[in-house]
């Protein structure tokens, strides 16, 4: 991403990752959030038939078991931050 900023004519480009987490009350709530609020996921799900969507749902919920604890699902992630000057 930093290279794109430089190609756009920006200077003093700096970038770093910030740890973030997505917290849901259950694997089912996580699945619902992904399908309704995360654009790339919603677009992908819309292009699937029901059987495919159910297979992806089952695998997703099974994979979330590693992040399920203390009454919530906590999925770690990272947000990429980039700043530059014009």
Q: Which residue has the tokens 């990752």?
A: 17
pLDDT of res. 37: 84
- Give pLDDT tens digits for 18-64: 999 999 999 999 999 888 888 888 889 889 999 999 999 999 999 99
Q: For position 54, what pLDDT does the model report?
A: 94
Cβ count within 10 A of residue 31: 20
Minimum mean pLDDT range among 4-8, 30-34, 82-86: 30-34
Identify any residues that bridge with 14 across adjacent strands, giving them in sequence order.
Answer: 83
Compute the distance between CA of residue 36 and CA of residue 41 in angstroms, rounded to an integer: 8
Any idea which residue has 């849901």 for tokens?
24
Closest CA to 29 of 82, 74, 80: 74
CA distance 47 to 65: 26
Structure confidence at residue 30 (pLDDT) = 92
pTM for the model: 0.69
């Amino acid at each position: 991403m930093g290279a794109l900023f430089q190609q756009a004519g920006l200077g003093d480009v700096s970038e770093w990752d910030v740890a973030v987490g997505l917290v849901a009350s259950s694997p089912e709530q996580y699945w619902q959030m992904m399908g309704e609020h995360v654009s790339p996921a919603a677009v992908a799900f819309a292009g699937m038939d029901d059987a495919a969507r159910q297979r992806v749902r089952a695998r997703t919920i099974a994979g979330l078991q590693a992040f399920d604890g203390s009454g919530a699902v906590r999925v770690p992630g990272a947000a990429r931050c980039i700043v530059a000057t014009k």
